[in-house]
Every structure is written in structure tokens, then in C-alpha cells.
Amino acid sequence: METRLVAAILALVFLLAGCASPVKHPEWPEDWVRVGDSIGAEPIDGFELVEQHDLMSRSGILYYAWAKGEGRKVTNEDGKELSVYPVQIILLYMRTDKPDEAISDWISIEKEHYGTVESADISGFATLTMTAKSSGSIYSGGSAAFGAAPGGAISIEVLADGGVETGKILGTFISGLHFSE
């Protein structure tokens, strides 16, 4: 009886140990945000992670948002209440075997909502500098970057109410991204 109890307890321990997901990249500091299994984002001074949704849709999109400053509530044109911050960084990661298509789609969407002033390349990311097309926009403009990542594609937006050098923040954020397979 005692042998069976010990065997049952050991079996349960091994079973539970097998259910725990392995810790990826234990060498990454604890204050980094892990996006999926293969992306680490270093913190940026003054920015705080304010939202994280690991699966927004069946398409496998991960959503992360960092903000600087005090948020205020606004209602968008669809009637949804949102928290808007003086400066916000939004990262989308889409699991896909066709990252170029996702990147092209995201760039098209940005161009629908914002006027693009210029485009460039930062560390392998296609970037856009944007201004709001209408005076009713929540943000007056910002910067965005799009690129391939392990197993998918990334979109990064830095949005602001004005007077903020979003391109510099975008460059700092990109330099703090780490990828592994």
C-alpha cells in the first residue's frame, strides 16, 4: 500500500512537472517583456506596460502597449471607450508564415489612417513618420515600424499628441528588441 502511494505521488509530480511550460531565455532579465516565445523587449525609461493580450484573434495576434504619462478616457468613433496617453508604444506580433503580406497589410492600414511624411529603414524595419489625417484623431501623429520576426511579423507604433520626438523613441524601442529561435 505504501509503495503504491509513493508511486502515485511520484507519478503525479512527474505529470505536473511535464505540464509546466519550459522557461525560455532565462538569461533575459526579469524586467524584460516577453512577447511570444522568441521576442524580448527591454524596458524604456518612463514607459510602463499598460496592456497585454496574448491572443486577440484567431489569427494569432499578440498585443502589447506601453505608455508614458497619465491616461485619459476617450470614446472613439466606434463608440468604444479607450485609455489615451500622451505617448504610447503599441507592439503587434502576428504568427504567420507570410510576414511580408502582414507587413504590407499593416503599412496599408497606417496609410489609410495617417498621412505619411517619410519612410526609412531602421535595423531592418521599414518605418513611417505619420501625421493625423483629421483633426478628430486621438493622436496627432507618430512613427511606425514593420519587420519580420521569428515565426511572424511585428508592427510597432509610437503615437503622441504632439511635441514628442516619436522617431527617437521608436529607434530606442527597436534597439531594445531581442529575437531568438
Q: Any idea what DSSP says for residue 31?
A: T
**Average of per-residue pLDDT across 23-38:** 81
In the predicted structure, residue 11 carries a pLDDT above the cut 50: no
pLDDT at 18: 39
Tell whether 57 is covered by a domain: yes
Is there a domain that residue 95 lies in? Answer: yes
Q: Is 8 helix (H, G, I), strand (E, B) or coil?
A: helix
Domain region containing 85: 25-179
H helical segments located in 89-155: 99-113
The answer to whether 6 touches 134, Cβ cutoff 8 Å, is no
Q: What is the mean pLDDT of the chain?
A: 82
Tell me the mean pLDDT in the region 154-168: 90
User: pTM to 2 decimals?
Assistant: 0.80
70, 155, 54, 161: CA torsion to nearest 10:
10
pLDDT of res. 55 = 65
Residue 16 — very low, low, confident or very high, per pLDDT cuts 50/70/90? very low
- Residues 38-65: tens digit of each pLDDT: 899 999 999 999 999 876 656 688 999 9
Contact between residue 67 and residue 158 where contact means Cβ atoms under 8 Å apart: no
pLDDT at position 104 is 93
Task: Please give the grid coordinates belonging to residue 161.
Answer: 499628441
Would you say the C-alpha torsion 66, 176, 167, 154 has a positive or negative sign? negative
Assess whether pLDDT exceeds 50 at residue 33.
Answer: yes
Residue 14 has pLDDT above 60, yes or no: no
* 75-102 b/e (C-beta count within 10 Å ≥ 16 → b): eeeeeeeeebbbbbbbbbbbbbeebeeb
Q: What CA–CA distances, in Å, run from 167 to 45, 120, 129, 144?
A: 16, 11, 7, 8
Quote the DSSP letter at residue 22. Answer: P
pLDDT number for residue 59: 66
Number of domains the chain is built from: 1
d(CA 32, CA 38): 12
pLDDT at position 4 = 45
- Tell me: the pLDDT tens digits for 90-146? 999 999 999 999 999 999 988 888 887 778 888 889 999 998 887 777 888 899 999
Is 49 within the bounds of a domain? yes
* Domain-embedded: residue 38: yes
CATH number at residue 146: 2.60.120
Whether residue 88 is contained in a domain is answered as yes
Backbone angles phi, psi at 164, to 5 degrees: -120, 135
pLDDT band at 167 (very low <50, low <70, confident <90, very high): very high
The whole-number pLDDT of residue 56 equals 60
Task: Decide if 10 is inside a domain.
Answer: no
Answer whether residue 17 is part of any domain: no
Looking at residue 127, its amino acid is: T
Query: Is the residue at 73 inside a domain?
Result: yes
